Chains A and B, each alone.
Chain A
Amino acid sequence: MTLYEGNIGSVYVVKGIHLDQDTITRRLEALGLNEMTKLQIQNRKRGGAFIIKVRGTRLAIGKRIAQGIEVEEVKEDA
């Protein structure tokens, strides 16, 4: 699944980043969003942007980016 399909409050682990713009991929990686990184969806707008928590920081990311991040849900207490 992609991050875009995720729900508020759930924790996911990144499986891959597939964006058409390489610069954005690199930027996400520099911000600590890599394969196997855990993230939590803090907030999202219907059809719009997301707020996610990665490595203790909050990031606001747009719809297109969220659609390009492949994730897998992990159980909260894992």
Chain B
Amino acid sequence: MPNHTKEKELTVGFIGNPNCGKTTLFNAFTGANLKVANWPGVTVERVEGSTVYKGRTLRLIDLPGIYSLTSYSIEEKVSRKCIVEENIDVIINVVDASSLERNLYLTLQLLEMGKPVILALNMMDIVEERGMEIDLHRLPEMLGGIPVVPVSARKRSGLDVLLHAVLHHYEEGVGDRVVHYEPELEEAIARTETALKEQYGELTHSRWYAIKLLEQDEEIIQYYPKGAVSPEINYEKQIIHQKYNYIDEIIEDTLFHKDSKAQATDKVDQVLTHPVWGVPIFLGIMALVFFMTFTVGDFLKGYFETGLEIFSGAASSVLTSLGVAAWLRSLLVDGIIAGVGGILTFLPNIFILFLALAFLEDSGYMARVAYIMDGIMSMLGLSGKAFLPMVLGFGCTVPAVMATRALEKEKDRKRTILITPFMSCSARLPIYVLFADMFFGKYAMLAAYSLYLAGVLAAIGTALVLSRIDKERAEGTLLIELPEYKSPNARTIAIYVWEKVKDYLTKAGTTIFLASIILWFLLNFNFHGMTEQVSESFGAGIGRILEPILKPAGLGMWQIGVALISGISAKEVVVSSFSVLFGIGNINSAAGMTELSSMLSNVGFTGLNAYALMIFCLLYTPCVATIATIKKETHSVKWTLGMLLFQLVFAWLMAVLVYQIGGIFF
């Protein structure tokens, strides 16, 4: 029908508990390259995509996974605000059918909001596997007649039926009374509704607002502050209880053969969350992850290097034969290809690291880490949940900082944000790979491991000191859901890893590209124009200012000063700076390394200096992207600046310690 295209675009909100497969389902529709993870707090911001069904454009919004519509956490506030204010036409409530009982609690709250709701019953395959049965006729009846559509996000089945339901159901609307509370409560709701209408006129979701007011919800009380409306007694407990009572009725009526089969997850958990072996197993898994990152990554890296060498050589000769001016050739070959290309050769290491992290996330193991590490984190005054952002920090600090949103208390968040940059992110990997390979020979991997360990120790030490200064602690307040283990989904992992690889490539193409050009300019120009003598360039001038400060750490070379400053744009740039600074085309190749290490050795730069440099790179100011994220998440310039100062001083102190103490022995 031609008039379809003229119809209004529909806005569909995806909402559900954490781990219900909501984001996977969302991805199945939009193909958006989103991050899907298996613990709370992944969709920290809402994400949008769109799809066309039967000529109708549907705007899809993926909201953070939440358990209820209260306003206790950032995620809940984001979701709720979006539903109330964004004119969402239809809500797709994704539920994990294998854990229907808990998932329905959110459903009942959504129904109270009075917007059209469609229930997407996900993970029906697990339900069948376990020999459970769900009465698909009775369930919608008990939920006020809303459509209930079985889907499988992983197998991509039921998707069209779901969209069909969206188109049909959106016009029908829904009654807002599914749960009938006990008379006393219903009377209170009716009273509040009347009072609301008297003071604020006709409201669209008056029953919902009334219920929220009876729960003394902070945000809603702010919107409707008038005295007569806000009730004296807090009915929240009764409201929750009576909802769950109704859920008990639903489960009684619709779910059969509950838990008839033993669950594989319990057996796996007996091993992986073992009171004694849990921690060693986790450490073993992480060691394996990094072992793979270095060995398999290094193996693949060889091919990249050969490729880069050929490309660089070819580019140089083509440019020469085309008669391109010397300065432009220098910019392209010495600046851009050396800087950006050098970084690209580390892609295999990064790829393997993220592949491993994706595996851990998607299998359901990551949430267990919070439980396993809770004991150790308690000693630091934090809950085990704070460990998750730290593990994520091995990948990239930016999402790790955002993941701290899952922590309820502001103070815990800030503490965790402060220590997360100490976890060696993948951008620091190239620095370790390069310098460890150059100076530590067969002990290279050990040297690199030790830096990861040093980072973890720095984080733990900082947290420990903070917990001693400030006595208020969050220990023992861990509360996290442990999802079912599942075999990782190829599509989910592919999306996750591709997203990371894309980020890395984008960074190489933008930040590192720009940094390389700026660096090239600084190194080839001075006040008199272009110069042949690098040591007389702008860059050298800037670096020399830092020389005396860095000298006690064994880093008293102007080139290192320049490399470290450039490294703030992105940590990989430290490496690309070295290639540009020392004019080495392919820094990650055997030949390039020999060249650089002999250049450095000539000026007395030894393994000890290299180690001090790596320590400094590990601990000093994180990259611009991280700083911006931290500023955004803490809403405090002052706090962010304080953090930067702390990291700089700490890095300098540690590097000096390493160099001075090491100097006694070596």
Tell me whether A and B are bound partners.
yes
Q: B residues touching A (Cβ–Cβ < 8 Å)?
A: 67-68, 70, 72, 98-102, 105, 236-237, 240-241, 244, 247, 258-259, 265-266, 269-270, 273, 275, 278, 367-368, 370-371, 374-375, 378, 383-384, 408, 475-483
Which of A21, A42, A49 is in CB contact (< 8 Å) with B269? A42
Assess whether B479 is in contact with A30, with CB atoms less than 8 Å apart.
no
Q: Mark A54-65, 1 if CB is under 8 A from B, else 0.
A: 111111111111
Bound-state Cα–Cα, A34 to B247, Å: 13
Q: Is the interface of B mostly helix, strand, loop or mixed?
A: helix
Docked Cα-Cα span, A30 to B462, in Å, equals: 34
Query: How many angstroms between the C-alpha atoms of A65 and B474 in the bound complex?
Result: 11
A contact residues vs B (CB 8 Å cutoff)? 21, 23-24, 26-32, 34-35, 37, 42-49, 51, 54-67
Min C-beta distance of A77 to chain B, whole Å: 14
What residues of A have a CB within 8 angstroms of the CB of B240 in the complex? 26, 29-30, 34
- Complex Cα gap A58–B270 (Å): 13
Shortest CB distance B389–A (Å) = 16
In the complex, what distance in Å separates the CA atom of A49 from the CA atom of B270? 15
Question: Do residues A62 and B477 form an inter-chain contact, with CB atoms below 8 A?
Answer: yes
With beta carbons under 8 angstroms apart, the residue of A32, A44, A57 that contacts B275 is A44
A63–B377 CA distance with the chains assembled, in angstroms: 12
Task: List 6 additional contacts besides A26-B236, A65-B476; criterion CB under 8 Å.
Answer: A29-B240, A34-B240, A56-B258, A60-B478, A60-B482, A64-B475
Q: What would 30 A/B residue contacts be, using CB atoms closer than 8 Å? A: A21-B477, A26-B72, A26-B236, A27-B479, A29-B237, A34-B241, A37-B244, A43-B273, A45-B375, A49-B384, A51-B371, A54-B102, A56-B101, A57-B101, A59-B479, A59-B480, A60-B368, A60-B370, A60-B371, A60-B374, A60-B384, A61-B478, A62-B374, A62-B384, A62-B476, A62-B477, A63-B475, A65-B478, A66-B476, A67-B476
B374 neighbours in A (Cβ, 8 Å): 45, 48-49, 60, 62
**Quick check: A24 and B477 within 8 Å, CB to CB?**
yes
A65 to B241, CA, bound (A): 19
Residues of A within 8 A of B100 (CB): 56
A23 to B412 alpha-carbon distance, docked (Å): 15
Query: Which of B237, B273, B374, B479 has the most chain A CB atoms closer than 10 A to its own CB?
Result: B479
Residues of B within 8 A of A21 (CB): 477
Contacts of B477 in A (CB 8 A): 21, 24, 62, 64-65
Contact (A32, B102) CB under 8 Å given A23-B72, A45-B375, A49-B371: yes
8 Å CB contact of A31 from B67, B237, B259, B266: B67
Q: How far is the CB of B382 from chain A (nearest CB, A)?
A: 11
The CA of A61 and the CA of B475, in the complex, are separated in Å by 11
Does the CB pair A35–B241 fall under 8 Å?
yes
